[in-house]
Structure 1
Amino acid sequence: MFIRQESFYSFRKNYPIIFGLLVIHLALFVWMNFLPGGSLVRNLGIGYNLAVANGEWWRLITPIFMHLTIGHVVFNSFSLVIFGPALEQMLGKFRFIIFYLGTGVIANIATYYLGGLSYPPHLGASGAIFGLFGMFVYLVLFRKDLIDQANSQLVMTILIIGLVMTFVNSNINVLAHLFGLLGGAALAPLFLTGVKPYHMYQHVHDTSEPTFNPNRWQKKRRNQKLFKNVFWIVLALLVLYGIFNR
């Protein structure tokens, strides 16, 4: 469910919404930091409660796509690549993007009402990504038919690390993380109607890849082991970055 072995072509075909979100993340990051007009884009789109109170409602949506630092955009994009594809495949493109944006907006609304008008400006996809975690928590607790034990353990481990980072790092929007998580769990039963387990869906494969390999299963096991090692190493580095870059 979380092991990515697709080529660039097959990933783009299998998960067009995830791919599109990654492109938007990168494009806005480059624009905001390196291209003319970047500061204007940042000032008009960043989450700012006082501006929302003055009628700039779009600031409940636009921060979901915006990131200011390289660590921020890399961490959120990495999380989206790992945890988004299975849900996009299971929910379908339309339901997935509605769920993703919905949880992000819920996180920003909570920030607006609970943070108050003096709450500092905020941006990032973290609220929506925690919404994905919220759906996975619902799967682990109430829809065990859709997720196996190994993936359940992985999800809960990552979630615990994410919550620890939420309260350790002083630059984190705690309200967005918590209410993104709660919003995802609350919306999950509405969006999971008629959903099948991830392994039951067909996936587009790169036609340039060989259709048969007598050593494919041995190779697959090696790749999975290698991926898991790389995954935990990268995750540990990102956690350390989040803890010490306060």
Structure 2
Amino acid sequence: MGLTETWRNKPLVTDLLIAINVVVFIAMVLAGGPTKPQVLMTFGAKINQLISVGQWWRLITPMFLHLGVQHIVLNMVTLYFLGVATEPLFGHWRFLLIYLGSGIAGNIASYFFTPAVSAGASTAIFGLFGAYLMLGVAFREQPGIRQTARTFLTLVLLNVVFDMFGSGIDLAGHLGGLVGGFLLAYVLAAPRVGRVSWWQRGLAAVALVGLVLIAGYGLMMKAV
């Protein structure tokens, strides 16, 4: 295996995202604590009232914030194992676009359906689950991918059930990220794994554009 191939298979973006999350968490601790309302507001938590008055960047920043040690450790461990499994299959840039796009999709869903202040990488992490589920559907003839996708689907279903009966958990954000990741993965495809048919990518693109237009209209109407 050549040097170029070795770098292609390393989860470089995953490592970078984990590093950013850890640095931001340390900064929040030094600023007074990640659960303090003023710190959350300053660092960019999802606060619906502020998004409604034009602070739309709060649909991006919450995926890099965490509310405590347990919160960030759980999310970063999950991100690491998901990244190791997923990033080499999509490639660095596709993986990054799926992660960021899913996080935004999850935060938009949270904005519409969850009034509480929220933060965390789980919106983007659920997007990675969605991306791997796409691989399981599109490449189900590949036993390794099919089996891993089934395992991830079981984890997703267990998490959704837990979210439904748990308190303080943003189910809308998780589901929004999951759907966003699934559709983005189809649109971006995974050339390292195989070819995705043009009609599947086209349907996913139409669905994604439709959701973007609906979300954009809803954001504008709420801002009026």
How high is the TM-score relative to the length of structure 1?
0.68
- Residue type of the alignment partner of 2:86: L
How many Å apart are 1:165 and its aligned residue?
2.0
Deviations 1:27-78 (A, max 9, x none): 1222212x14666552221111110111111100000010011111011111
Q: 140-149 or 52-61: which moved more? A: 140-149
CA 1:92 to 1:42, structure 2 compared with 1: closer, same or farther past 3 Å? same
CA 1:54 to 1:80, structure 2 compared with 1: closer, same or farther past 3 Å? same
1:56 aligns to what? 55
- Residue type of the alignment partner of 1:104: G
1:43 aligns to what? 41
CA contact (8 A) 2:108 2:176 kept: no
Distance (Å, rounded) in 2 between the aligned partners of 1:193 and 1:22: 23
Distance (Å, rounded) in 1 between the aligned partners of 2:26 and 2:184: 33
- Residue type of the alignment partner of 1:139: L
Distance (Å, rounded) in 1 between the aligned partners of 2:103 and 2:185: 14
Q: Which consecutive residues of structure 1, in runs of 5 or more, have no partner in the other structure?
A: 1-9, 198-246
Deviations 1:180-214 (A, max 9, x none): 111111222112242327xxxxxxxxxxxxxxxxx
- Residue type of the alignment partner of 2:60: I
Q: 106-115 or 119-128: which moved more? A: 106-115
Matches within 5 A, 1:97-246: 97-115=96-114, 119-145=115-141, 148=144, 149-196=146-193
Backbone CA RMSD of aligned residues: 2.2
- Residue type of the alignment partner of 1:83: L
- Residue type of the alignment partner of 1:30: I
Identity %: 34
Matched residue of 1:162: which SS?
helix
1:232 aligns to what? none
Deviations 1:65-109 (A, max 9, x none): 100111110111111011112321122211111110001001111
Which structure's CA Rg is the greater one?
Answer: 1
CA contact (8 A) 1:146 1:196 kept: no
- Residue type of the alignment partner of 1:126: S
Distance (Å, rounded) in 1 between the aligned partners of 2:93 and 2:63: 17
Residue 96 (1) aligns with residue 95 (2): yes
CA contact (8 A) 1:22 1:77 kept: yes
CA contact (8 A) 1:140 1:147 kept: no
> RCO (CA 8 Å, sep 6+): is it higher in 1 or 2?
1
CA 1:163 to 1:147, structure 2 compared with 1: closer, same or farther past 3 Å? farther
Distance (Å, rounded) in 1 between the aligned partners of 2:177 and 2:107: 8
